[in-house]
Amino acid sequence: MLGPAMPPAHDLHPRPKEQRSLFGEILDWMLAPLLLLWPMSVALTWMVAQSIASRPFDRDLAEIARTVARQVVVVAGSADKASAVHLRVPEVAAEVLRTDDAEKVYFQLLGARGEFVAGERDLPVPDDGMITPQALKYRDDEVHADAVRVAYLWLPATGVPGELPPLVQVAETLDKRSRLATEIIKGVIVPQFVVLPLAVLLVWFALARGIKPLNELQQRIRRREASDLSPLAERDVPEEVAPLVGAINDLLGRLDQSMSAQKHFLADAAHQLKTPLAGLRMQAELAQREIDAGEHDPKALKRSLQHIAHSSERAAHMVNQLLAMARAEAKTLSRPPEAVDLAALARETVRDFVPKAMDKRIDLGYEGPEASAAGTVGAAGPPLACMMGQPTLVRELVRNLVDNALQYTPAGGTVTARVMDDPFGQVVVLQVEDTGPGIAEAERLLVLQPFYRALGTDVDGSGLGLAIVNEIAQQHGAELAIADARPRGSAAAQGMGPGTLFTVRFALSRRLAPGV
């Protein structure tokens, strides 16, 4: 059976996006419109040149038409006799038409009934919808396959019914007009062939000059030492680049803070690891001296071994906490978020810590989904809320809260892990409550910092547990709150501590149906 077709290799590994040049892109956006507008400018110049070249020749042609019209004589007729139209001095018209040897000039005179009177018989008659006597008009036409410009006017009407006003037309070929338009185009376009390359060079130079501060900024950054995280001077860059420099300075500031925090964290971690390692070395040297001295006191040797075991346990716990802190602080997680059953994680954590609770004579319990009324773990319960996150980190959060509660709760006390659904269906709530000495309100933010331990306690701890909890909560967008489990006045009256109530509210993803 054939499997699904594999996609081509180039689809599995798409090519990286080609890097663009800011200089080239700006140059393209400036030159492309210039090169696009230049042909449009040539076309518009040609049209304007044609109009400019036609105006003086149109005036001359109009003057010729009026001169010929002044030589026309109209003898009005009657209803029985047609009006007569003729030229007063035909030689004047012929002389006017011979004024320019470079062009062909035609004229035509039509009578009151449209009959041909004089001039060029083949000159077309204008197709005017409304005849306006004495109004000079122009049109473009053809005579003997030659393109001509025609000036014509209708003479006053004879007044005889059925007759039209006589028509005078003068036409001229377009050679002189074309030559003049060509000269105008040459005078305008030829300088542009010089100006356009010069404009391109000036744009290139202006862009290179404008981008020069960016190159200088790049060189200043490259010349810096790797440890120099001081802000860049914003006054030395153009106004448009100042926001970029401000963003870089903000990043440098955050990097400086992050590196300072890491250095401080490493220094504190080295200091915290030094104590159990020094204890290990001291107890090992003590046991070795006793053996070298020939003393074989089993109790003393057992005490040294117990101290060694305790110190190694503290060192291992510290290393595990440091690794957990490093995982919690990792901003880029390799695995995508997935559905996390918070109630199941809480039940498993409670089961894991039962032996430690029994050793310290602490009542460790769980309340929440899939827990029976008696508090035993594993009974069937209602459908539980589901959140999206990293199961490993959420498990670490729950373990640190329970472990912290067991560390600070005295013998005979109670620790309860509780998972509750939000009645509005917006969050799922994790609570860990103990009957320990509580945390003063002034220290509730301080205990979330690495290696900080509440004052007045002699508990052997690393000071990292609550910092890990806070970091994981922030990674998951959860809300962490610390409060007293009981009012301090009533707790003191009963001879016990106020206890601590840790509450973590995770955003609810969806509700799982039974059996999912």
Asked if the model's pLDDT at residue 417 lies above 90, the reply is yes
pLDDT score, position 332: 44
pLDDT score, position 273: 63
DSSP single-letter state for residue 133: B
CATH topology of domain 244-324: Helix Hairpins (1.10.287)
CATH class name, domain 333-511:
alpha beta
pLDDT score, position 323: 67
Which sequence spans correspond to the domains of the chain?
Answer: 25-182, 244-324, 333-511
Question: Rounded distance, CA 195 to CA 183, Å?
Answer: 19
pLDDT score, position 380: 43
Question: Rounded distance, CA 387 to CA 345, Å?
Answer: 12
Please work out, in degrees rounded to the nearest 5, the angle formed at the alpha carbon of residue 75 by the alpha carbons of 72 and 79: 140
Least confident of 2-6, 18-22, 32-36, 62-66: 2-6
Least confident of 169-173, 180-184, 285-289: 285-289
Q: Is the pTM of this model over 0.85?
A: no
pLDDT score, position 2: 47
Least confident of 115-124, 145-154, 506-515: 506-515
Ordered alpha helix ranges (H), 71-145: 90-97
**What's the whole-number mean pLDDT along residues 21-32?**
74
Q: What is the pLDDT of residues 39-56, one digit of tens each?
A: 887 788 888 877 887 888
Q: Does residue 301 contact residue 309 with C-beta atoms inside 8 Å?
A: no
Pick the residue with more confidence: 333 or 230? 230
pLDDT score, position 501: 92
104-107 contacts, C-beta under 8 A, 24 or more apart: 104/143, 104/146, 104/148, 104/172, 104/173, 105/64, 105/170, 105/171, 105/172, 105/173, 106/143, 106/148, 106/169, 106/170, 106/171, 106/172, 107/64, 107/65, 107/68, 107/168, 107/169, 107/170, 107/171
Grade residue 363 by pLDDT with cuts at 50, 70 and 90. Answer: very high
pLDDT score, position 513: 37
Considering the domain delimited by 25-182, tell me its CATH architecture.
2-Layer Sandwich (3.30)
Question: Rounded distance, CA 54 to CA 115, Å?
Answer: 31
> What's the 3-state SS for 219-234?
HHHHCCCCCCCCCCCH
Asked if the model's pLDDT at residue 103 lies above 80, the reply is no
What percentage of the chain exceeds 70 in pLDDT?
73
**Beta-bridge partners for 108:** 119, 169
Q: What share of the chain is helix, strand, coil (3-state, %, to 5)?
A: 50, 15, 35
Question: Rounded distance, CA 341 to CA 426, Å?
Answer: 16
Candidates 403, 398, 409, 407; CA nearest to 499 is 409
Q: Does residue 156 contact residue 83 with C-beta atoms inside 8 Å?
A: no
pLDDT score, position 445: 87
Asked if the model's pLDDT at residue 114 lies above 70, the reply is yes
Question: Rounded distance, CA 255 to CA 249, Å?
Answer: 10
Q: Does residue 68 contact residue 109 with C-beta atoms inside 8 Å?
A: yes
Asked if the model's pLDDT at residue 391 lies above 50, the reply is yes
pLDDT score, position 390: 83
Helix (H) or strand (E) holding 177: helix 175-222
Candidates 165, 185, 229; CA nearest to 44 is 185
**What's the whole-number mean pLDDT along residues 456-466?**
66
Q: What is the pLDDT of residues 208-255, one digit of tens each?
A: 877 777 788 888 888 888 778 888 887 777 777 788 888 888 888 888
